Amino acid sequence: MGGCSVHNWTPEQVGHWLTSVSMNDYAPLFVSRAITGSQLLQLDSSQMKVTTVCITHTFILVVVVVVVVVVVVVVVVKTLDYLC
């Protein structure tokens, strides 16, 4: 982030930093919530828990969708095997 003070970071710079420290999953959330560098430095653990919960719910939803797709594929393959 080149000599620029964290206090002056834009939400996009916060997102870039999160990506640079392997926290890519969090970057879009922080950018969409317009978290600036100054706000980033003021976040406490209770605010971070809310952010983590949002990401965890998204992850669980993705896992459920993947499981449903796998079940559908298995049913289709078994049906095709039965018909052939």
d(CA 69, CA 32): 29
Q: Which CATH superfamily is domain 1-43 in?
A: Transcription Factor, Ets-1 (1.10.150.50)
pLDDT at position 3 is 57
Q: Output the pTM of the full model.
A: 0.52
Q: How confident is the model at residue 11 (pLDDT cuts 50, 70, 90)?
A: very high
Residue appearing with tokens 């653990």: 45
At 15-66, the pLDDT tens digits run: 998 888 888 888 898 898 898 988 888 876 565 655 555 566 666 667 677 7
Are the C-beta atoms of residues 36 and 18 closer than 8 Å to each other? no
Q: Where are the domains of the chain?
A: 1-43, 45-84
Query: What spatial distance separates the first Cα and last Cα of the chain, rounded to whole Å?
Result: 61
